[in-house]
Amino acid sequence: MFIKPSYAQGLNTGISGEFSLFIPLLIIFFIMYFLVIRPQRLQLKKHRERIDAIRRGDHVVTAGGLIGRVTRVYTDIGELEIEIADGVRVRVIRSTLSNIRMKEDNT
């Protein structure tokens, strides 16, 4: 009555109008995946590979801040023995390592 018929026809959006609301969300998701999630996964994978490749003589830093040299590797229980000072050895869990400096990195 007060609305002209031409304006009333424009209000019917249909399925394509509802789907177009999700397109920006999908674009944001893909951008976040490639800028945040994917690089973080690759970094975590590389860190796990370095932890699995630890051998005697490597220098490591734990999440607690201990810095030491690996003196023994317990592969069956997932622990390492590191020497933090002359004659001072502690056992740490592999998953607590935050930085690994391999022998060839120590120049």
Query: How far apart are alpha carbons 43 and 40 in whole angstroms?
Result: 5
Using H for helix, E for strand and C for coil, what is the string for 20-44? HCCHHHHHHHHHHHHHHHHHHHHHH
What are the pLDDT digits (tens) for 12-30?
555 667 778 888 999 999 9
Q: With 50 as the cut, is the pLDDT of residue 107 above it?
A: no
Query: Per residue in 94-104, pLDDT tens?
Result: 999 999 987 66
pTM over 0.85: no
pLDDT classification of 58: cutoffs 50, 70, 90:
very high
Contact 82, 93 (CB under 8 A): no
Q: How far apart are CA 17 and CA 27, in angstroms?
A: 17
Asked if residue 8 has pLDDT above 70, the reply is no
